[in-house]
């Protein structure tokens, strides 16, 4: 094979490997489908229309008066982890913050707003099984976009850790970060900081779809957690 062709082949091979490793890390393997985009917007408008007729004017009048959310939630943005489904009526009750890997540090302003200004008595941090952000954070993510890297750096887990173990470790780390931030409110028993894993893949063997509470105010012993939950 001529040298030029060999070189081209090498470049192509390198490009292929780089693309593949990028895809594997990001978990993004689908091309964009603009038809699906149009369909989604149409559906969203229809859903909104039926939401309006289902709830009626009094519902929106009440919302326009203000909010007193009992829970501030930091969840992963993953489309499979719709953790606002924790309430049948989240309007006015759940102050929802979502990002890749349910990180607290990169979204601290929003968390402070929920806890300090809206006076949520619960801060709930929710990870989930098969989390792409956790996969990325436990691998080499240096080829990803700089802004993604910045967020992943707040996830402090070891490289190569099993996904569910990384998810659990990350939730516990995030609870610790939040506990330091809201230390005064915790010591005065004004708030609960709870860590949980929404396990749709049943990696924790508690049944698929279960929200497993793994941390309450820094306590991670399952027996202790069970006891606290039974006394709530």
Q: Which residues bind Zn ion (CB under 5 A)?
A: 76, 78, 131, 133
DSSP 32: P
DSSP reduced 3-state for 109 = helix
The minimum distance between CB 78 and Zn ion, in angstroms, equals 4
Question: Rg for the chain (alpha carbons), in Å?
Answer: 21
């Amino acid at each position: 094979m001529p040298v030029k062709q060999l070189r081209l082949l090498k470049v192509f091979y390198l490009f292929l490997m780089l693309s593949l490793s990028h895809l594997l890390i990001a978990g993004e393997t689908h091309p964009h489908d603009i038809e699906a985009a149009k369909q989604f917007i149409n559906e969203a408008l229809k859903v909104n229309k039926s939401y309006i007729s289902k709830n009626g004017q009094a519902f929106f009048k009440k919302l326009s008066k203000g909010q007193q959310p009992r829970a501030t939630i930091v969840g992963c943005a993953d489309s499979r982890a719709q953790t606002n489904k924790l309430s049948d009526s989240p309007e006015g009750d759940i102050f929802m913050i979502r990002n890749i890997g349910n990180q607290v540090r990169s979204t601290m302003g929003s968390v402070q707003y929920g806890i300090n200004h809206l006076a949520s008595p619960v801060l709930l941090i929710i990870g989930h099984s098969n989390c792409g952000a956790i996969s990325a954070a436990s691998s080499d993510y240096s080829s990803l976009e700089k802004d993604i890297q910045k967020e992943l750096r707040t996830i402090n887990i070891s490289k190569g850790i099993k996904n569910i173990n990384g998810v659990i470790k990350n939730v516990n780390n995030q609870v610790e970060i939040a506990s330091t931030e809201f230390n005064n409110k915790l010591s005065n028993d004004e708030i609960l900081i709870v860590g949980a894993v929404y396990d749709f893949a049943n990696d924790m063997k508690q049944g698929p779809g279960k929200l497993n509470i793994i941390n309450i105010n820094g306590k991670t012993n399952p027996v202790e957690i069970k006891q606290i939950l039974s006394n709530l």
